[in-house]
Chain A
Amino acid sequence: MSRSAFDTAVIGGGLHGLSAALHLARAGRRVVLVEQNWVGRHASGATAAGVRTLGRDLAEVPISLESMEMWHRIEAIVGDHCGFHSYGQLRVAEFTAHLPSLEKRLETMHQQGYGHEEIIDRAELLKLVPAIAPHCVGALIARRDGAADPHRALRAFRRSCEGAGVVIHEGCGVTAIDRRGSDWHIRAGEQEITVPVIVNAAGAWAARLAALVGDDIPLGLKASMMIVTERLAPLLKPVVSVVGRSLSFKQSDQGTLVIGGGLQGRADIDAQKSAVDFTELAKGARAATDLFPSVKDVRITRSWAGIEAKTKDLLPVIGPSPNASGVFHAFGFSGHGFQLVPVVGSIIADLVVSGKTQRHISPFSAERLMTTRAAA
């Protein structure tokens, strides 16, 4: 294949890389995607796959709401429903002392003109989630939220990408990026690619990628742990989290319980390995059994930790590189990027194709992290 076969290279075969590649290809770009392992190897394959607007940082709310609209028509976008169900997400207050924080959040949302979050009382909570412990007093709810099946989403995005002409090279880790006139020359495994445009969607490895083109963006790591149990009879439909504890609790289509919430395991970015810390994970099991007493005899079949990037303010980096023309970043989703997948791909396509976007992305600039560091 000749070098001029492509005009855009996406680095990173997670869902954000796939979404960017898909939107770019549909906008007429000739896209190659390189992935160091295989598509969905790390965060995208290890995610709880919550599709959540509830409780998002105000800076993220506009794009999150737009992304939610895209999730509700995901089948039209990627040809598959991705296992997406919209049974709502709830943030439960166990005790009356927890209610004021929910009320304050609701007030903020109303002040900003948002109506997608509501407070429900104990009676409605018990109606929506009959299995929840009776001591709980109420909840904040986003009714159009839900969850999807990450592996199904990966397959659908991959298939759509390939259908749109994206060429995917797996097992190709980027080792060098050099300027060649107005182009970038990328070495990735056996592939040598020369393109004017690069999209950096390399997740936990994105800071290293950025450094290759001259952007020094400080990035932390997350290794959020997950528990999956054996299958059980239908127990609940919404996704439940709780004030003051690390818990996200839901039931998959297969009947397994999927329990996360951001408890941290150990990650080794060089070895590309992560490990579960069961002493820490015990807190999640404790929260799950406190909130859902009927699950205490349910057997855990698997647990794991993903590896992904975290920024200082827990907001992603979405936008052009400050130092390298033709390079666009989309990473640092800090544990809540799954829901944003459809919209961020569309934003990147805007930026690459027309150099601008209607969406409000200034809070996600790479500069904010870089200047903070320079001032420190």
Chain B
Amino acid sequence: MTSVDLLIVGAGPAGMAAAVQARRFGLDVLVVDDQPAPGGQIWRSVETVAAAPRGKILGQAYQAGKPLADAFRASGVRYQPGTQLWQIEPGFRAFVTRDRQASTIEARSVILATGAQERPVPFAGWTLPGVLTVGAAQILLKSSGQIPEKPVWIAGSGPLPLLYLVQLLRAGGKIAGYLDTTPPGRRRAALPHLAKALGAAGDLIKGLAWMGMLRKARVPIVRHVADIEAIGSERIESLMYRTRTGQEKTVPADVLLVHEGVIPSIHGALALGCAVAWRDDQDCYAPVLDPWGESSQAGIFVAGDGAGIAGAQAASLRGELAALRVAVTLGRASEQAAAEAAKPIRRKLDRQLALRPFLDALFKPRPEIFAPSDATIVCRCEEVTAGDIRAMADVGRPGPNQVKAFTRAGMGPCQGRQCGYTVTQILAAAEGRTAQEVGFYRIRPPLKPVTLGELASLDRREKVS
């Protein structure tokens, strides 16, 4: 068993920055991460790719991850890549698997820096091969330089589809068209937040520049798309889209990439019993945190997009704040020194967070995402449809956990990461309650599938004879 002062879960912007900061105070820090190299999702493979030609394709915001990754490597942190964390018990005892070996880690504090996931978007045909998320396609581009051979349809809303389109153009990819699902009126709704957002004007200008690039490259853009459907038997062959003005069209399609924003990964926090609260501005739950990022469970911190979506720069800053507080609680820094050190970090963080209300209003998800048709599969693992879930709502006023027990939605290996919010929203609509009132699945360990053999290896008992 390993024993450390601080266990950090995740080696993205927040995890790396937290580790670097904690090491400044001499803490014994262990970072475990799923990925084979530091960077998280946003800076995936940044150490090897940043300086290569692909780094240029991916852009400056990507290359900006390299110095932090270097500082992380140089910090003297203990780092275990390729490691899946699947449970943390009070105390804290963490259970991880690496190279098919399970082991435990004792830690005095924990920072969850597990980032975000793409918002699941159920629609008819979304389970067909050839339908992927923009995030998944971008992973292939970052880690191995792969781009789809055939022209790509992209459907969705938010900064990521625009960024990927631009990256795809730079990499020589072919684009069939962009189905922009942002509903009309979102710009007007976002406008009141613009003045505050100007503090981070760089990002806004970047967004405008992307749009300009797409227009120049004559990428077909369809605005105000309300519904999409992927059609095909073995894989996607065509797609149908319908705009809010009722214009409907079916076009041939080989690859469809969808993206409707990102949401915090909350499974770790939920499994640990950390309180979460509904965020109307981002249509998701986020952990309830103090100004340092400490959750309702003392000693458990959440930093980065897992604390609420705010981007890579904010993630790093939140990581630094959490590490400062851990240093105080473990007696390595005075309250005063931490408060002093936190001041400039908070100023930068405030500037980053000022951009969010504008972006959240501009890219608020369209209502159709939360109201899929009855025939649409909601739980991919157990193949439960939206209709199955609506039928459950007729008996009493069930919550997600009863629906899970009776339909098996959320019982599969993804632990409800794909269907959780959809089930909550369908029940909220059917029962005339808010999503907050309906709640979310109880998360049952393990957080990541671990095999029977791996778990058995933790039993030290001699073989029975």
* Chain A residues within CB distance 8 Å of chain B: 38, 40, 45, 94-95, 151, 154-155, 170, 227-230, 244-245, 254, 257, 259, 273, 275-279, 281-283, 285-286, 288-290, 295-304
Contacts and interface: CB of A to CB of B under 8 A. Distances in A.
A40 B406 CA distance: 11
A289 B408 CA distance: 26
A254 B449 CA distance: 18
A151 B451 contact: no
A297 B89 CA distance: 24
Interface stretch (B43-51, B131-139, B151-159, B453-461): B453-461
Interface residues of B, number: 35
Given A230-B413, A304-B444, A297 B406 contact: no
Interface string B423-455: 000000000000000000000111001111101
A297 B451 contact: yes
Interface in B357-402: 396, 398-399, 402
B451 A277 contact: no
Contact of A40 (B93, B273, B399, B405): B405
A257 B451 CA distance: 12
Contacts of A259: 452
Interface-central residue, A45, A281, A285, A288, by most chain B CB under 10 Å: A285
Given A278-B458, A286-B459, A94 B449 contact: no
Given A38-B396, A276-B445, A277-B89, A300 B464 contact: no
B465 interface: yes
A289 B398 contact: no
Contact of B411 (A155, A170, A285, A301): A301
Contact of B456 (A94, A155, A277, A296): A296
Contact of B446 (A282, A297, A303): A303
13 contacts: A38-B399, A38-B402, A95-B465, A259-B452, A278-B458, A282-B456, A283-B461, A290-B464, A295-B452, A296-B453, A299-B413, A302-B445, A302-B446
Nearest to B396: A170
B406 A151 contact: yes
Closest 5 CB pairs of A and B: A296-B453, A299-B449, A285-B455, A282-B458, A286-B459
A3 B234 CA distance: 61
Contacts of B449: 230, 299-301
A34 B296 CA distance: 32
Contacts of B453: 285, 289, 295-297
B451 A298 contact: yes
A290 B463 contact: yes
Contacts of A281: 455
Given A302-B411, A304-B444, A282 B455 contact: yes
B412 interface: yes
Given A289-B453, A298-B451, 5 more contacts: A95-B465, A277-B89, A278-B95, A285-B459, A300-B446
Contact of B444 (A170, A286, A302): A302
Contact of A288 (B90, B452, B463): B452
B87 interface: yes
Interface string B253-295: 0000000000000000000010000000000000000000000
Contacts of B95: 278
A65 to B, nearest CB: 30
- Most B CB within 10 A of own CB, among A155, A230, A279: A279
A299 B450 contact: yes
Nearest to B443: A302
B464 A278 contact: no
Contacts, number: 103
B41 interface: no
Contacts of B89: 275, 277-278
Contact of A278 (B87, B408, B461): B87
A285 B444 contact: no
B415 interface: yes
A245 B452 contact: no
A227 B87 CA distance: 14
Contacts of A297: 451-453
A285 B455 CA distance: 6
Nearest to A152: B406
A14 to B, nearest CB: 13
B415 to A, nearest CB: 7
Contacts of B452: 227, 229, 257, 259, 285, 288-289, 295-298, 300
A151 B456 contact: no
Q: Which of B411, B444, B459, B461 has the most CB of A within 10 A?
A: B459
Given A40-B405, A302-B411, A303-B444, A296 B459 contact: no
A286 B456 contact: yes
B458 A299 contact: no
Given A244-B464, A282-B456, A285-B459, A300 B415 contact: no
Given A170-B396, A278-B95, A302-B444, A296 B451 contact: yes
Which of A151, A279, A286, A289 is most buried by chain B, counting CB atoms within 10 A of its CB?
Answer: A286
Nearest to A292: B452
Contacts of A295: 452-453
B159 to A, nearest CB: 34
A220 B369 CA distance: 47
Contacts of A290: 456, 463-464
Nearest to A98: B464
Nearest to B465: A95
A257 B444 CA distance: 16
A45 to B, nearest CB: 6
A323 to B, nearest CB: 35
Given A230-B413, A244-B464, A278-B87, A288 B445 contact: no
Contacts of B405: 40, 45, 151, 154
A273 B444 CA distance: 12
A254 B465 contact: no
Interface string B118-153: 000000000000000000000000000000000000
A273 B271 CA distance: 12
B91 to A, nearest CB: 11
Contacts of A155: 406
Contacts of A154: 405
